[in-house]
Structure 1
Amino acid sequence: MSAPTSAPTPVPFNPANKAMNQLQRHIPILRRCALAAAVASAFALSAGHASAQAAAAAPSETAMVKLIRGLIQSGTLAKDVGEALLAQAQTEALAAQQAQQRLAAASTAASASVAGGVRLEAGDVRVPYISQTVRDQIRDEVKAQVMAQAKDEGWAAPNETPEWSKRIRVEGDVRVRNESRGYAGNNSNIETNWSEFNKGAGYDINQNTNLALPPLLNTRQDRRNLFRARARLGVFADLSENTKAGVRLASGSDESPVSTTQTLGGGLGKKSVWLDQMWISHKPVDWLTVTAGRFGNPFMSTDILFSNDLNFDGIAAQFEKKLASNRDLTLFGTLGLIPLEYNSDNSPSRSQNKMKSENKWLLGAQAGAEWKIDEDNRLRGALAYYNFRNITGQISQPCALYSGDDGCSTDWSRPAFMQKGNTLMLLRDIKLDPLNPAGTPQPQYVGLASKFRLIDLNLRWDTKVAGNNLRLDANYVRNTAYSATDIWNRAGVRSMIVNNFGATGGTTKADFKSGGNAYMLQATYGKPAPANRGDWNVLAGYKRIEPDAMPDGYNDSTFHGGGTNARGYFLGGSYAIDKNMWFTGRWISTKEVYGPPQSIDTLQLEFNARF
């Protein structure tokens, strides 16, 4: 028999519990209403300082109090429950109002303190505080808008230079050199300076009318500690992906094509600046570049033939192509049309009958290949042909200078520039005054006696020895147009050859000494072109240049004082003391190949900088 079930214990009536039950049933409604009240309160709090003061003086019922009153009046809440909630809401509203008043008083005091202790009056404007985070956000937004506008309009871009400046680069170098030259005491002291001989109205070779010696070279007196400098500055522009242009200025003591070195001193006078390069180049296809104007040497060559400072006038086409079947083999070549000299189109200047135009040219063609054998070995070779057209001297038609002739017919054939070494001959066939033959002045010019059609072979091998670079260079030049018989016959029956005779002093054909071959061997160990601090190299080499192996006007101006008819060795080395700055020392010892003794030793010490 089961125990009787006990009756439930009655729960005493509590208005608060009844209010809670009623409130739970109306929570969704109250939440929505409370959200609306909160939004309204937020707008009310942001109304301004004057509104806050008015609210503090005459408090009004809160939205929650009004809500509860409305629920009681509509019957939604029982009266007893509503009155309990209304009392609690009024108590909370009063506490919130008091806290708001205290906050407003503190804010007013803080504003007065920030303003330097001045109390704000009616009508004053209070600037609200903006945090650093907000200020940074505003700044970034404004900057982004301005930069976007600038980029769209093309007048600026962030962290970038203008577009045109990216296509232009400035390059240059400076060299300061101390140079000493030593001459052997037994050198011949009768060496004519033929370049000076050809200047002006010519040198009068008639000893009856001219007792002065021709201009002579210094061959015995040493020159110590000669300070010299070179500066070059170029501006080069990429006009498009395939077209470029360049202009370069350079120093120089004179208009010599083979040297831009300026001798210092001269009473501390200002130094000359020359237009060294001016060119435009275009690539019609990837493997071909055409350059016109005045530009650097487009051929693979050494300074035995063309000085490192020599620039070329005219037009050159260069090609370079890697073989598809062997990407380690590259073919290259150059074609050049180089004007060497135009004779005056107004010569003779005091004659009604002008001479025809005579132009001198260099036509050059070269083909070569470079083979990358492996990471440590690379071979490069080239074979070139150079045809120097119309540069050989010619004996003139008989000219009667004594009767007022304005020059002779082949004066144009004398070289525009020469150094020394080539075989030379007199150019003018001067008529004698029949009334005074012995007293007729005979001002003469000289010209080149040989023709020049050169075969030039260049070889280079780059390898590594003991972890460092080793470069071996070889260069052989042969003047295929050289012929001693042709030279002698070209000078005429009166034997107008003036130099390159043996040391005996004789001037017959049997005494004539010349040749048409030249070669150079050089080894460079270390970095061939020092660029970074600590880079170094040492080099040694030997040259032999026979008198008529090449025109003497275009090769290195230091070896034997420039020109041909020279042989000797050279030693040197370089060390980079900083980035793009290096020191170089060089010793060159040379002597003649044929003819009277002529020994020259040269020491060069120099600092170089590149930028």
Structure 2
Amino acid sequence: MKHFFSTHERRAVSQVCALLLMGALGSAQAQTAPPANETAMVRLIRGLIQSGTLAKDVGDALLAQAQTEAMAAQQAQQAQRAPVAAAAAGSATAASALQLQPGDVRVPYISQTVRDQIRDEVKGQVMAQAQAEGWAAPNETPDWTKRLRLEGDVRARYESRSYSGDNNNIQTDWASINSGSGYDLNPNTNLALPPLLNTREDRRNLFRARARLGVVADISERTEAGIRLASGGDNGPVSTTQTLGGGLAKKDVWLDQMYLSYKVVPEVKLVAGRFGNPFMSTDLLYSADLNFDGIAARFERTLANKDMTVFGSLGLIPLEYSSDNAPSRSQDKQSSHNKWLLGAQVGLDWKLDPKNRLRGAVAYYDFHNTEGRLSDSCALYAGADGCSTDWSRPAFMQKGNTLMLLRNIALDPLNPANTPQPQYVGQASKFQLLDLNLQWQTQVAGNGLRLDGNYIRNTAYDAAEMFARANGGIVNNFSGTGGTGIDDFRSGGNAYMLQATYGRPAPVARGDWNLLAGYKRIEPDSMPDGFNDPTFHLGGTNARGYYLGGSYAIDRNTWVSGRWVATKEVYGPPLSIDVLQIELNTRF
């Protein structure tokens, strides 16, 4: 098989050979001639191959090229010698004493100074060409690889979930209803119960795992791009944890992040795409695994005394776009109904002294157009393809929010008692949140102590407005006496969290540790139930309880951790859930 060299490879090898030949010429004035069909260059290449200086495939290719060139040169010399052969014969006798004998080679003398100068010039040319073309630095990596950063983490978890035997066992799985074709409320046409959540049977010895791998590219000093893949049992936004098992089937991988960021000025950065949480917050409101779609701006500036930093964020986050083709089997399509999260936050990071630091922020989040809407009258019995407000059901929900029926279903005048009434549900409350965060870091007995507090108030919470919007269609969050009026309604618009962490909050070096304890109370309509921590009360709102935990680093960036979470309902039928998690984590 032929070996083809690029131009710079042939040039480099030739120049190296020249250097080696110069050294060889300087070591002797004359030596035994090679065979008639073999030049000095051919012998030199053979010697380099035998000594291991040249790789065999490279040497063989050079050897073939040198032999070809030698044969061509011999033929040219023979053609040039023919015309002068007669003239040369006349002087043969006179020059016989000086003429080379067979087997001798004439080698001109080159001084050491000249040899050194030629070697340095050739070496300089080779190195300059190598640096310019980037092919002769074996320990140097291409420039584009220096601008890429890999980051990721892997977690293995053991989990058990315990339910009280006194729990109410009629907890409707509204998310399942909304993801299907609706639940028929007419007992004359449907005798089956709706999908129900498990509330009494423990789930022990669950093995679960999470893996995330991201690549960040520093395009320039101002521009950055990132892509991250993550595991996950479904496409829900609040968790990338995958439950193992499933017959040893392969696990899913999702596109978890994809973003571009641009630093407008040193203090302001814009980010667009799908990116990490741009706001200072806790998992009371936003799960630690939650990412945001859309565009956000971040501001951060250190004040003149260098002990205070002002920061802030603005976000325009699309939550859901209505379908372009709804209703799918109708010539008349619905207008656009899009849902948004508009967020704004400002905060201060204040270094009080070497041992004390205070960080706080106030934020306002407007979940625009997310509340449920009662539809126009829709004659499903006559073949209508859905109802006008089916779009207002949440794209993702956990549990806890007050819900309302969305469809105003017309009855078949020929058979009203047996008209099916498949229903969807939507959030009865609007959500406009005031979010206050405060964090204090200090030292106690030589170790760090961090106290976190988070308070949230839904300023749009209004029970009377919710009942008016639903027109009698509220379906949950009642006292349990059987009444469904506003006097029997139990909800609220406040939530708060308190947490203490002693030790190092994020273990890094071997031997780092921490202990933590906290308490949360989340009233049913204090926030949308679809975005917060999926472990506390197994996600959602209408929950209160405490949690205890700790971590210990067994190696660099590798730690074990455990957490016990005990929760129950704030209002309504009893629902007590305890969760134990033991984890092995690593990051890179």
Amino acid at match of 2:301: K
Q: How does 1:5-404 map to 2 (within 5 A)?
A: 123=103, 146-155=126-135, 157=137, 159-324=139-304, 326-404=305-383
> How many angstroms does 1:433 deviate by?
0.6
Q: Structure 1 residues 139 and 369 mapped into 2: Cα distance closer, same or farther (>3 Å)? A: farther
Amino acid at match of 2:314: L
Q: 1: CA distance between counterparts of 2:351 and 2:424?
A: 51
Q: Structure 1 residues 47 and 154 mapped into 2: Cα distance closer, same or farther (>3 Å)? A: closer
User: Normalization by structure 2: what TM-score?
Assistant: 0.80
Compare CA radii of gyration and give the structure with the larger one: 1
Q: Please give the secondary structure, in 2, of the residue aligned with 1:267.
A: helix
Q: Please give the secondary structure, in 1, of the residue aligned with 2:131.
A: helix
Q: 2: CA distance between counterparts of 1:138 and 1:558?
A: 75
Identify which of 455, 462, 469 aligns with 1:483.
462
Deviations 1:249-277 (A, max 9, x none): 11110010000111100000011111100
Identify which of 514, 531, 540 aligns with 2:491.
514
1:417 aligns with 2:420: no
> How many angstroms does 1:154 deviate by?
3.7
Asked if structure 2 preserves the Cα contact closer than 8 Å seen for 1:147 and 1:158, the reply is no
Q: Structure 1 residues 126 and 427 mapped into 2: Cα distance closer, same or farther (>3 Å)? A: same
Asked if structure 1 preserves the Cα contact closer than 8 Å seen for 2:158 and 2:205, the reply is yes
Q: Please give the secondary structure, in 1, of the residue aligned with 2:585.
A: strand
Q: 2: CA distance between counterparts of 1:307 and 1:138?
A: 69
Q: 2: CA distance between counterparts of 1:472 and 1:139?
A: 70
Asked if structure 2 preserves the Cα contact closer than 8 Å seen for 1:334 and 1:367, the reply is yes
Question: Where does residue 78 of structure 1 map in the other structure?
Answer: none
Q: Structure 1 residues 430 and 153 mapped into 2: Cα distance closer, same or farther (>3 Å)? A: same
Q: Structure 1 residues 160 and 497 mapped into 2: Cα distance closer, same or farther (>3 Å)? A: same
> How many angstroms does 1:147 deviate by?
3.6
Question: Where does residue 87 of structure 1 map in the other structure?
Answer: none
Q: 1: CA distance between counterparts of 2:438 and 2:137?
A: 50
Asked if structure 1 preserves the Cα contact closer than 8 Å seen for 2:30 and 2:104, the reply is no
Question: Where does residue 553 of structure 1 map in the other structure?
Answer: 530
Amino acid at match of 1:567: R
Deviations 1:270-300 (A, max 9, x none): 1111110000000010000000000000000
1:464 aligns with 2:443: yes
Q: Percent identity?
A: 73
Asked if structure 1 preserves the Cα contact closer than 8 Å seen for 2:371 and 2:430, the reply is yes
Identify which of 545, 548, 561 aligns with 1:584.
561
Q: 2: CA distance between counterparts of 1:176 and 1:142?
A: 59
Q: Structure 1 residues 380 and 141 mapped into 2: Cα distance closer, same or farther (>3 Å)? A: farther
> How many angstroms does 1:448 deviate by?
0.2
1:429 aligns with 2:429: no
User: Normalization by structure 1: what TM-score?
Assistant: 0.77
Question: Where does residue 131 of structure 1 map in the other structure?
Answer: none
Q: Structure 1 residues 126 and 210 mapped into 2: Cα distance closer, same or farther (>3 Å)? A: farther
Q: 1: CA distance between counterparts of 2:125 and 2:390?
A: 74
Asked if structure 1 preserves the Cα contact closer than 8 Å seen for 2:31 and 2:104, the reply is no
Amino acid at match of 2:398: Q
Asked if structure 2 preserves the Cα contact closer than 8 Å seen for 1:290 and 1:318, the reply is yes
Amino acid at match of 2:579: T
Off by >2 Å, runs of 4+ in structure 1: 45-50, 121-127, 136-149, 152-160, 503-506
Q: Structure 1 residues 290 and 185 mapped into 2: Cα distance closer, same or farther (>3 Å)? A: same
Amino acid at match of 1:599: S
Q: 2: CA distance between counterparts of 1:607 and 1:142?
A: 58
Most deviating of 461-470 and 153-162: 153-162
Q: Please give the secondary structure, in 1, of the residue aligned with 2:331.
A: coil
> How many angstroms does 1:353 deviate by?
1.0
Asked if structure 1 preserves the Cα contact closer than 8 Å seen for 2:30 and 2:106, the reply is no
Q: Which runs of 5+ in 1 are unaligned?
A: 1-44, 51-120, 128-135
Amino acid at match of 2:576: S
Amino acid at match of 1:533: R
Q: Please give the secondary structure, in 1, of the residue aligned with 2:239.
A: coil
Q: Please give the secondary structure, in 1, of the residue aligned with 2:491.
A: coil
Q: Please give the secondary structure, in 1, of the residue aligned with 2:442.
A: strand
Q: 2: CA distance between counterparts of 1:216 and 1:314?
A: 34
* Alignment RMSD: 2.2
> How many angstroms does 1:123 deviate by?
3.4
